[in-house]
Each structure stands twice: as C-alpha cells, then as structure tokens.
Amino acid sequence: MKKVMFLAAVLLLNMLWPSTASALCSVNNASLAFGSFSPLTGNTVDSTATITVTCALQLSSYTIALSPGGSGTYNPRRMTSGGNTLEYNLYTSAGYSQIWGDGTGGSVIVDAGSTLLGSRNHTIYGRIPLSTQRSAMIGSYSDSITVTVAY
C-alpha cells in the first residue's frame, strides 16, 4: 500500500496528508528552512528537517521516497524564485553522499526495514552548494517535493 504526502516549499516545507479513513500511518508537518544567506560567503548552506511517521498498526517495514521536485531531476534539484533558480539537494545522512529520492537518477529510497508501531523520526539533510552559484539572485526560493511512504 502506498500513501502519498506532499512536501511543499523547500524554504518552508509543509507536508500534507490526504484525508482517508483507511490510513494506517500518518506523517507530521515538517519544515526545512535554509534561512537567509549570501551566495558570496561559504561553500554550502545546510539545514535539516524531521519526518515523523506514525502508525496505528504494527508494520514489518516501510520505505520513504522523495520526488525530484519542480526541476524533474535529482541532481541537482532546483528551487525557484520567479524566473531565477537555486540548486540544492536532499540527502539521507549528514555525510551528504546519498541523494534521497525514488531510486532513479542516482538517488536512493530510505528503507526503514524494521518493525514500526507508534512513531519514528527520519531526518532530511538539505544542502545548497554556493561555490557554483555565486551569481544567484536575491529572493525567496521554494520547491515542492512529494513524499511517498510505502508499507
């Protein structure tokens, strides 16, 4: 069974869970904000958010996949502000080596793999590489990411 969540706006990520009477699990509202920064300083801007999966019945396992967002590609994802773009990505760990996606385009799915009854937290690690984006325009950038929890 798959339940789809919506992760809206990388600068202010909000998850929406479609209302359904048969839902065994739900996901909390989460936000990932990179905050204010200058592309002329530092090499990266990092931030985190937590996805909490809560299940009313015991599950033997589940997976969490993230969509590529509005850019349609995982490497890099792109936020937009009007006609301007800012590259970023979402990762499975603080090592920033595995792009969290749906298993395509060089991305991986997070496999929770163990029994769940109650709640479990999953951290999203976001990174904006500034060293290659020195000419980024000032603005409020956002993207929309779909989160799929399969169990």
CATH code, domain carrying 42:
2.60.40.1090
Domain with 95 in it = 2-150
Residues in the chain: 151
What pTM was computed for the model? 0.82
Domain count, the chain: 1
Q: Tokens standing for 126?
A: 């976001």
C-alpha–C-alpha distance, residues 115 and 51, integer Å: 17
Q: What is the secondary structure of 53-109 as a DSSP string?
A: EEEEEEES--EEEE---TTS-STTEEEEETTEEEEEEEESSTT--SEESSSSTTEE-
C-alpha dist (Å) from residue 83 to 78, 120, 127, 139, 140: 12, 38, 21, 10, 12
Q: Tokens standing for 138?
A: 């000032």
C-alpha–C-alpha distance, residues 107 and 64, integer Å: 12
The tens place of each residue's pLDDT in the chain, 151 residues long, gives 443 433 333 333 333 333 333 457 888 867 889 998 888 887 899 999 999 988 888 877 889 999 999 999 999 999 999 999 999 999 999 999 999 999 999 999 999 877 778 888 999 999 999 988 988 898 999 999 988 888 8
